[in-house]
Structure 1
Amino acid sequence: MGLQHIEGVWEVEKLCFTTPWSKESFEKEVTDNNFAFYLVVLDPQKEDKVVAYVGSWLILDECHITNVAVHPEYKRLGIACGLLKILQDTVKLRGILRITLEVRKSNDPAKDLYKKLGFYEEGIRKGYYSDNNEDAIIMWLNLS
């Protein structure tokens, strides 16, 4: 992801999350955060419209996924699965051994996708989500 993708990523973010990150947050990720690693999926049929993205932080030998989102018009096409597989392969080449993320306890479709990709549940963060105080399930994937 580069600065040219910020507007599109932010549009997807707003459509997918009840408490979206600000556009400025994404700009800072690209310009100021040396740990940030983002991938975007573009639709070449629509002037390279951003249709999905994954954000992560690469710290030592771990990857912490911060965001995964697919534009509602592009859901159920396997984009999230493919994007996460590309993330896994790419970060593994950079020496990453494990990937972690938090997911809403109620988000069964996302949990099912992560489990399909080999993630396992490892804990709970009580009241993690500020919009409704929902718990987050901590999930991990070992790449080694």
Structure 2
Amino acid sequence: MSAPVIRQMRVEDIDRVMAVEAASFGTPWTKDIFYKEILENPYAIYFIMQEGKQIVGYCGLWVIFDEAQITNIAILPQCRGKKYGQTLFHFVLNQAVALGAATLSLEVRVSNITAQNMYKKFGLTPGGIRRNYYTDNGEDALVMWVKL
């Protein structure tokens, strides 16, 4: 199979993105949230990673002035371990720089050591804790950030 392709998410991708979302998160976003992000949020840009016709991952980015925020990133569970997350994250970091961002931040579950380790590879460092951030189980979020 050929290497995955990354491109900007379109409205017609949302149904297939929902499969990634549902497989990845205990409290998945709704279709309506994705529609609003793509169609109404002037600060948002979303990217999908596609392998053939299958969407295997996606990542959301907000850029407000010179600050970028990763809203979410997910790879289908059966596609993890192939460095797809790293590839997608690296692509989105480059997009943030191209859009004029000087810093980038994100929240990650304190229990998600795998993701934290990946973010550290890109220079992100812990910046604080958001207590009870995740509504599904009240887990804290670790805030990580990097100067771009």
TM-score by length of 2: 0.92
Distance in 1 between the 2:45 and 2:124 partners?
19
Per the alignment, residue 103 of structure 1 pairs with 108
Residue 68 (1) aligns with residue 76 (2)? no
Q: Would the aligned equivalents of 2:69 and 2:105 in 1 still touch at CA under 8 Å?
A: yes
Per the alignment, residue 34 of structure 1 pairs with 42
- Pick the aligned partner of 1:93 from 93, 98, 102: 98
Distance in 2 between the 1:9 and 1:121 partners?
29
Distance in 1 between the 2:11 and 2:54 partners?
14
- Pick the aligned partner of 1:8 from 11, 16, 41: 16
Residue 133 (1) aligns with residue 131 (2)? no
Structure 2: 5+ residue stretches without partners: 1-8
TM-score by length of 1: 0.94
Q: Give how far 1:72 is off.
A: 1.1
Distance in 1 between the 2:42 and 2:33 partners?
14
Distance in 2 between the 1:77 and 1:4 partners?
26
Distance in 2 between the 1:25 and 1:95 partners?
25
Q: Give how far 1:113 is off.
A: 0.6
Distance in 2 between the 1:28 and 1:50 partners?
20
Structure 1: 5+ residue stretches without partners: none
Task: State the Cα deviation string for residues 54-81 of structure 1 (Å, max 9, x = none).
Answer: 0121111011111100011211101110
Q: Give how far 1:41 is off.
A: 0.5
Structure 2 counterpart of 1:119, one-letter code = L
Structure 1 residue ranges, 4+ long, deviating more than 2 angstroms after superposition? none
Q: Would the aligned equivalents of 2:67 and 2:104 in 1 still touch at CA under 8 Å?
A: yes
- Give % identity: 39
Q: Compute the RMSD of aligned alpha carbons.
A: 0.8
Task: State the Cα deviation string for residues 117-141 of structure 1 (Å, max 9, x = none).
Answer: 1100000001111111111000001
